[in-house]
Amino acid sequence: MTGRHGHGRLSASRLRRPRTYLTLALFSVVALLTGLVAWFGTPSSGDGEDPPAPSANDLPADAATGEVTGGACAPSATLVPPCGAWWGAYVPYAENGSLKDAVYAFEKKIGRKLDLLYTYHDMSNNKLDGQLLTPDEQILGRDRMLMLAWESTVWREPRHANYTEDQLGWAKVASGAYDREIIDPQARRIKAYGKRVFFSFDQEVDARVGDAGTPGEYVAAYRHIHDRFEELGVDNVVWVWTVSGFLQSGELFRQLYPGDDYVDWIGMDQYNYFTCHDTTDWKDFDRSQRPTYDWLRTHISAEKPVMLAEFATVPDPADADRQREWYEEIPEVVRTMKGARALVHWNRAVPGEGCDLTVNDGPGLEGYRTAGQDDYFKQPVPGR
């Protein structure tokens, strides 16, 4: 999320029926409706009552609840699903300011609950954009995994509306200048949450070099945040290091890598832009993802799992079916990318003509919905 984006109705019967049958019928209807609501994402405590909504002022409640996932397909300590891949998305807030409403509406469209919800924050420390684990995130995280992307910037507009921001600078982050004011309070919020979360510091980092500092300063800042979290006892973070994936920056990727001891997952953000940004080359899903995936596995780590941390395609104005087919081929292709264990769709249009990357309707939605029903993306989501 950097400048790169600038870069059935029931009929009543007149016949009287025995009370028992009426009660059973009503019970069945209620059960059906309850099941549908749960399927599309409304959290439930399991005892018929929803937990109270989190307070914006308090530390998050411990969300590490439920049974520990077991069996051959249970995810690892760093949330790697051995039998398939997570199905996730970034979903922008609804017009009413609710992330919950936006996510529930999106899940209703795609016919399934997301495994992983990707959200973005700045370092303003304010409750709108700079607070990790907002009340909505805590509610959504009850039965989904969260991926928190933390940017070393202060956004000039709420929720980064037009992608304008002010950099804090990696050197100052590394120096500890922001520890007490910014880093420590947010670290304590994650610790209190308890449940494991994916965490990315300055995703698409290669696009920030220069404005935020040098590669060496980034590595120092990343390691400082990692070590500071450890000092504060934050042990429920799965660390994701994310680059844009443009291979012209391959040497830069090497310089920006914090090291195997500091990274659990490697993230990459690649798209089929086609008409967006004055490009003309249509890349199918395989050709849009595999070159960067292969490069990272060869030159950075062959062992770390890979997250397609942002991916999407714009439609082809001349061929409406092309977008649907792009998404439909994902399950077959990703099975041949054995290290790719999480796919996160970017469901937001970005600035520029022809840059609609959403799957909110039409052939794009059809293809994305079909892909998400594949068994490869139906892995047991941990509750802690």
What pLDDT, in 10s, does the model give residues 261-282? 999 999 999 999 999 988 889 9
**Confidence band, pLDDT 50/70/90 cuts, at residue 2:** low
The two structure tokens encoding residue 65: 């609840």
- Write a three-state SS string for 218-233: HHHHHHHHHHHHHHCC
DSSP H helices in the chain: 19-39, 99-110, 135-140, 170-175, 184-193, 215-231, 250-256, 285-299, 321-328, 330-334, 362-372
The two structure tokens encoding residue 5: 């984006």
Residue 52 pLDDT: 83
Q: Is 312 exposed, middle or buried (0-12, 13-18, 19+ CB in 10 A)?
A: buried
What pLDDT, in 10s, does the model give residues 50-70? 678 898 889 999 999 877 888
269: β partners:
310
The two structure tokens encoding residue 332: 């077959």
What pLDDT, in 10s, does the model give residues 176-188? 999 999 999 999 9
Least confident of 38-42, 62-66, 218-222: 38-42
Whether residue 165 has pLDDT greater than 70: yes
DSSP state of 202: S
270: β partners:
311
Whether residue 344 has pLDDT greater than 60: yes
Q: What count of other Cβ atoms lies within 10 Å of the Cβ of residue 48?
A: 7
SS3 230: helix
What pLDDT, in 10s, does the model give residues 347-359? 998 888 899 999 9
313: β partners:
272
Domains located in the chain, CATH noted: 3-7+18-377 (3.20.20.80)
User: Are the C-beta atoms of residues 371 and 383 closer than 8 Å to each other?
Assistant: no
- Rounded to the nearest integer, the mean pLDDT of the chain is 89
SS3 313: strand
Residue 351 pLDDT: 85
Q: How far apart are CA 288 and CA 8, in angstroms?
A: 41
CA dihedral 21, 22, 25, 27 (to 10 degrees): -110
pTM: 0.88
Backbone angles phi, psi at 259, to 5 degrees: 115, 150
Residue 42 pLDDT: 43
Q: Give the side-chain half-sphere CA count within 13 A for 7.
A: 16
What pLDDT, in 10s, does the model give residues 280-316? 899 999 999 999 999 999 999 999 999 999 999 999 9
Residue 34 pLDDT: 42
Q: How far apart are CA 151 and CA 202, in angstroms?
A: 5
Work out whether strand 116-121 and strand 165-167 pair parallel, antiparallel, or are unpaired.
Answer: unpaired
